[in-house]
Chain A
Amino acid sequence: MSPLHDWPYLVAAIAGLTVITVATRTSFFLLPARFTLPAGIERALRYAPACALAAIVAQGVFAPEQRPFISWYNNQMWALLAGSLVFAKTRNMVATITVGMAVFTVLRLWA
């Protein structure tokens, strides 16, 4: 059975994700005032989300089938490169997605 049709697994996953989101967003709203965020921890916390997102994007784009695929023929790689350049220039997420998907589609159909 595909994990995406294993609904007890998915419902458990979603319940946990909800708890995690609420817990992180409300963390310091609920903690007593004597708890503060030490500077060292705060610095680590600043890097963790960027690294986690990088890991997900890198695996998704450069290892789409759970196997490294670093090649000129990796269409997703070119799409990500084009999208990232557009974002760096425009800071516009809509333009980033549009250009990235356009590059991917052109390569998929014609390359």
Chain B
Amino acid sequence: MSPTSAPPRSLPARRLLPQMDHAAYQEGLRAMAPLAVAIGVWGLVTGVAMVNAGLTIPIALLMTFTVFAGSAQLAVLPLLATGTPLAVVWVTALLVNLRFVIFAAAGRRSFVHLPWQQRLVAGYLNGDLGFALFSRRFTEATDHGTPEQYGYFYGTAVVNWVSWQVASVAGILMGGLLPTEWGFVLAAYLALAAVLIPMVREVPALVGVAVTAALAVATVRWPMRLGLLVAVVAGVAVALAVEAVQGSVVARRAMPDSVLPQQGDA
């Protein structure tokens, strides 16, 4: 449903973006602005880690501008560094990204009426923090897909994208200057731990994560890093089993809070 009253649709941006309310756009910018520092640090660490792990600057830049998903980028770095088969690299990224499927399911009411190109752009920009703010801001909304919602969404998305990309590029350019012995790849694991910890507030997740971690280390020498995938599947199965043993699932929150990071991630 494209707005028929829109001015001449010559600019590509007009075809890729829905009609927005300007005040709501400003509100989105202001809501995301305080998080820009955290996003920036996360981007900086990702940029430094990519180059420190051995990626060349052009490849690291290509990755940051196309993939635009911090956790997935950091997660596959050690796999790329050891020449892991592409299928395993991709499945790993898919597993890390599965939380986005939940976000998309939760936010679809607001976007489903747009032309497909616009849904594609909105989806691509629907990172962790923007989704968290958007869900919180419109929990009570009865109308979905309003110019107010699109304005707010794109306000948060712009701050997220710009602070992430500026910091990533800075990190990529700096990364080559920092000696490998300083161990900046560890900074990537610390950042991933900060994304992971808020996800394990309940017992099933805790058990699943512990099982996965132990199995992942035990199977690290399996060919093609397949132990990684086995560990994840086993961990998820154990988490679901623990949840079932714990008895009936207590009224689940409507929003998947447990998969939202507190801060950071693009």
Contact = CB atoms under 8 A, between A and B. Distances in A.
Contacts, number: 306
Main secondary structure of the interface of A (DSSP, over half): helix
Given A21-B72, A53-B71, A30 B217 contact: no
Contacts of B75: 52-53, 56
B217 A68 contact: yes
| Contact-residue size bin, chain B (C-beta under 8 Å from the other chain) | 35 or more
B264 to A, nearest CB: 5
Most interface-central of B38, B104, B235, B252 (chain A CB within 10 A): B104
A42 B228 contact: no
A10 B80 CA distance: 8
Nearest to A101: B187
Contacts of B116: 30
B183 A67 contact: no
Contact of A10 (B59, B120, B193, B198): B59
B67 A63 contact: no
A90 to B, nearest CB: 10
Nearest to B242: A47
B190 A28 contact: no
A105 B204 CA distance: 34
Contact of B217 (A10, A48, A63): A63
A105 B206 CA distance: 29
A48 B189 CA distance: 18
B54 A28 contact: no
B67 A43 contact: no
Interface in B15-70: 37-38, 41-42, 45, 53-56, 59, 62-63, 66-69
Interface residues of A, number: 75
Interface string B105-126: 1011001100010011011101
Contact of B78 (A9, A28, A33, A56): A56
A55 interface: yes
Contact of A28 (B59, B63, B101, B182): B101
Interface stretch (B5-13, B91-99, B169-177): B91-99
A14 B66 contact: yes
Contacts of A37: 101-102, 105
B265 to A, nearest CB: 9
B63 A17 contact: yes
Interface in B127-169: 127
Interface of B: 37-38, 41-42, 45, 53-56, 59, 62-63, 66-69, 71-76, 78, 80-83, 86, 89-90, 92-105, 107-108, 111-112, 116, 119-120, 122-124, 126-127, 181-200, 204-205, 208-210, 212-218, 220-221, 228, 231-232, 235-236, 239-240, 243, 249, 252, 256, 258-259, 262-264
30 contacts: A4-B56, A10-B55, A13-B80, A21-B69, A21-B100, A29-B104, A29-B119, A42-B105, A43-B240, A44-B236, A46-B258, A48-B98, A48-B232, A50-B199, A51-B232, A51-B236, A53-B75, A53-B192, A55-B213, A57-B189, A58-B213, A58-B217, A59-B228, A62-B217, A63-B217, A80-B193, A92-B263, A100-B186, A101-B190, A104-B183
